Copies of this chain bind each other. A is one copy, B any other.
Amino acid sequence: MRGGSSWVGVVWRGLGKKTSHSSYSSPPKYPSVLPDAWIPSTKHHRLQSSGIFPSGHTAAIIDGKSIARDIRFRIAGEIRRAKAATGKSPGLAVVLVGKRRDSKTCINIKLRACDEIGIATLIAELPENCTETELLDVVSGLNEDPSVHGIIVQLPLPQHLDEEKIMTVVSPEKDVDGFHPLNMGNLAMRGREPLFIPCASKGCIELLLRLGVEIVGKKSVVIGRSKIVGLPTSFLLQRHHATVSTVHAFTKNPEQITSQADIVITDVGIPNIVRGHWLKPGAVVIDMGTNLVKDPNSRHGFRVTGDVCFEEAIKVVSAITPVPGGVGPVTISMLLSNTLDSAKRAFGFSST
């Protein structure tokens, strides 16, 4: 981590190594003006079959890593074209308060992805005990900085800081996480266009559409209603005209509702909470959970798992994302996509 000695270390990290796909010149995939329904790449991705599918007994495993690679490949090309036309590169700023190891890991994944693709990055580090004013000043400075096109305030923040207040101070024009209430309101209201859609939700719909899953009119259940995953995912499904039900901690018989759904999205944070009998035969499942469970056989003593009991689910559903390797890598790609969109708006660059 750079600039750790001062109370706030702000370091621009140089543009990373060029992606290996430097000769690619596909048409633009991410329009700066969002249509009523999010329209991702039109290319349908081949499912990585688990072998027995489509005999009906084992689901196709959705290969998020491969899809993420494809998206990044296209974004890298777009960044090169923007640079060639304007001489400028997109810039992403990450604000980190404290030294939580999981936050640092998360940030490093994002920064590495930016490096690989040609997005400049900046880290603003503040100590665990910083004041709200100090943090707000940093965010305000980034709002004003013309070389910054996207700002992420890494969550969770220490408890003495008002997370809601700070997320509102991030300029809606640089809110690449899509968590500002103005962007969230514009996402919820059909006929309006948010500047950014939260990355995990955008990734979820990207997967469904790439796989050719029909969403219009389909019964869809979102399990969990967090502001950063479940809630915006339900908005996006709604924009695609799914019939959406939200299941949460107060829902009685969640398995009864879930078992009627053609599309199931989980955002719970409890390993294996969604069992095989919760799922309708042939359903498509996107598992957004990222849970650490102890595993003495793993190098670090734990492994990452989702919300869905994978072993049971694959015997029931038609397709499912694994954890890890499912929606996670696509979520990171959507952060890159949002940052590119923001930069294009700032540059006045359109690839049409």
Whether A191 pairs with B250 at a CB distance below 8 angstroms is no
In the complex, whether A210 has a CB less than 8 A from a CB of chain B is no
Whether B250 pairs with A243 at a CB distance below 8 angstroms is yes
* Segment with Cβ contacts to B, from A19-27, A41-49, A77-85, A179-187: A179-187
In the complex, whether A241 has a CB less than 8 A from a CB of chain B is yes
A95 to chain B, nearest CB (A): 20
State the majority secondary structure of interface residues on A: mixed
Contacts of A191 in B (CB 8 A): 164, 227
Whether B188 pairs with A250 at a CB distance below 8 angstroms is no
In the complex, whether A105 has a CB less than 8 A from a CB of chain B is no
Q: Which of B216, B217, B245 contacts A244 (CB 8 A)?
A: B245
Q: A225-B238, A238-B225 are in contact. Are A188 and B231 (CB under 8 A)?
A: yes
Whether A190 pairs with B225 at a CB distance below 8 angstroms is yes
In the complex, whether A251 has a CB less than 8 A from a CB of chain B is yes
In the complex, whether A17 has a CB less than 8 A from a CB of chain B is no
In the complex, whether A248 has a CB less than 8 A from a CB of chain B is yes
Contacts of A247 in B (CB 8 A): 243
In the complex, whether A189 has a CB less than 8 A from a CB of chain B is yes
In the complex, whether A252 has a CB less than 8 A from a CB of chain B is yes
Q: Mark A159-173, 1 if CB is under 8 A from B, else 0.
A: 000001000000000
In the complex, whether A11 has a CB less than 8 A from a CB of chain B is no
Q: In the complex this chain forms, how many copies of it are found?
A: 2
Q: Which of B164, B190, B219, B248 contacts A192 (CB 8 A)?
A: B164
Whether B246 pairs with A190 at a CB distance below 8 angstroms is no
A30 to chain B, nearest CB (A): 22
Contacts of A235 in B (CB 8 A): 188
A180 to chain B, nearest CB (A): 8
Contacts of A180 in B (CB 8 A): 185
A residues 170-228 in Cβ contact with B at 8 Å: 180-186, 188-192, 216-217, 219, 225, 227
- For A218, the closest partner residue in chain B by CB is B252
Whether A243 pairs with B238 at a CB distance below 8 angstroms is no
Contacts of A183 in B (CB 8 A): 185
- For A186, the closest partner residue in chain B by CB is B181
Contacts of A190 in B (CB 8 A): 225, 227
Q: Give Cα A251 to B245, complex, Å.
A: 12
Whether A251 pairs with B181 at a CB distance below 8 angstroms is no
List 8 additional contacts besides A188-B235, A216-B250, A219-B252; criterion CB under 8 Å.
Answer: A180-B185, A181-B182, A181-B185, A191-B227, A238-B246, A242-B250, A243-B248, A244-B245
A-B contact pairs, 26 of them (CB 8 A): A164-B191, A180-B185, A181-B189, A181-B192, A182-B185, A183-B185, A184-B189, A185-B185, A185-B188, A188-B188, A188-B231, A188-B235, A189-B227, A189-B231, A190-B227, A216-B250, A238-B246, A241-B250, A243-B245, A243-B246, A243-B247, A243-B251, A243-B252, A243-B257, A244-B245, A245-B246
